[in-house]
Amino acid sequence: MENNTQLNNFFQGLLNRYGSPLYVYNEKILRERCQTILNFKNSLEGYLNNTKVNMHYSTKANNNPAILKIVKEYGLNVDCMSLLELDLNKKCEFEDKRILYVCNNIDKDEMDVVFNSNILICLDSISQIETWGSIHPGSDIMIRLNPGVEGVGHSQEVITAGKKTKFGITEENYKEMFEAIDKYNLNVIGLHQHLGSLFLNDKIDKYVKGVESFFELINRYTEFDNVKIIDLGGGFGVPYNGEEKLDFNLLINKLGNVLKKFEQEHKSIEEFKFEPGRYIPCESGMILGRVNAIKHENNTYWIGTDIGMNQLVRPSMYDAYHRVKILGASNSPEITANICGNVCESGDVLAKDRKIKLPIPGDIIMVYNAGAYGYSMASNYTGRLRPAEVMYNDNQDRLIRYRETIDYLEKSIVW
């Protein structure tokens, strides 16, 4: 279905049936990415003696159960960060030991649900260790450390290590951390770090260096001698703007030896975990919308669509780049335009200074690489409805989430 007319007809049909805008996921691409992650796990295990490698798909990237079930089919695990994500993981029948709760600043009630669900929790501050320890003394926990090195990430907002992040516990506070652990007789079975989101080949060295520093840090403390699990977080990137794809062989070559060395130094280690989020669904997903208006003001073309910052917030939030294409405008002249949504905010711009074919109202716009942090970050700001989601395989499609309705949104209002 690669030619424009076929795609146009197929997508036109989907928009007519499910409404515009619409998230669509190509199942084949999703399955290929799950397979790549599984191959990564198997190859890394090949480097190691007995240590297992487990891949936990980070539910926050896209929590649709249709995606979670495919992830599960490939034998991958999950991590989650809220009770809704946990519930979805459970409903998709991930066994307890395949779920990890990686949270930040949660209250006692949430901790209780996690504890009573038999899910391993990863805590990321001394204060959270104190709260957890006071209600569940003697239990197993993981701890998120901030390795102190500069993180990797596509924008400052997603760099999660170093001096400017809210995440993890830094070395200067370890004495206090060990005291809290002892006070509640907690058993630290795992250590976690997540350097940031979206690294590609040019940052592999920095990523691996970050892992080495993490290991050096762990080696300095006898208190960590019995740790069984090392979790290296997520961050595997995808090309949004024509960059080279992440070269897993290169990553494995560079990372494999570092993990192997650590495995030899730490006889207690049983498992390395990773938490890829974006990598799995990102490239399988697109958001489709319609062009509603075109205007030319102050020498600038503005293409007004129904894909606003409430449907896909990454461009407004991180200045993120998404490729866009207008379907159906193949005979029109090329222009340079800003493409924007229908929200009453100047920042509601999806793409700036793009060369596109001059569209007409009603044309379809496709926004690529919207499968991760697309729907999961969507909101109802200005009262717009969150779109439906559809999975397709060749030209067979199935609805995997209904489009919201005004009635549904008004249900929570106390009149």
Ligand X SMILES: Cc1ncc(COP(=O)(O)O)c(C=O)c1O
Residues interacting with ligand X, by CB under 6 A?
Answer: 58, 61, 102, 160, 194, 197-198, 233-236, 275-279
Minimum CB separation of residue 377 from ligand X in Å reads 11
Which residue type occupies 290?
R
DSSP SS3 for 269? coil
Element spanning 124, H or E: none
Minimum CB separation of residue 232 from ligand X in Å reads 9
Among residues 34, 80, 282, 344, the one annotated as catalytic is: 344
Residues 6+ apart with CB under 8 A from 312: 287, 322, 350, 367, 370, 374, 377, 378
136 or 192: CB nearest ligand X: 192
198 or 356: CB nearest ligand X: 198
Minimum CB separation of residue 208 from ligand X in Å reads 16
Residues 6+ apart with CB under 8 A from 235: 152, 153, 194, 195, 196, 197, 198, 199, 207, 276
Distances (CA, A) of 228 to 75, 225, 368: 21, 9, 40
> Which among 117, 48, 24, 36 is positioned nearest to 76, based on CA atoms?
36
Q: Tell me the residue length of the chain.
A: 415
78 or 343: CB nearest ligand X: 78
How far apart, in whole angstroms, are the C-alpha atoms of residue 286 and residue 387?
12
Q: At what angle do helices 83-91 and 108-116 cross, to 10 degrees?
A: 20
Q: Is position 344 annotated as part of the catalytic site?
A: yes
Minimum CB separation of residue 378 from ligand X in Å reads 16
Residue identified by tokens 């006898």 is 222
60 or 136: CB nearest ligand X: 60
102 or 350: CB nearest ligand X: 102
Minimum CB separation of residue 70 from ligand X in Å reads 17
How far apart, in whole angstroms, are the C-alpha atoms of residue 178 and residue 333?
66
What are the residue numbers of the active site? 344
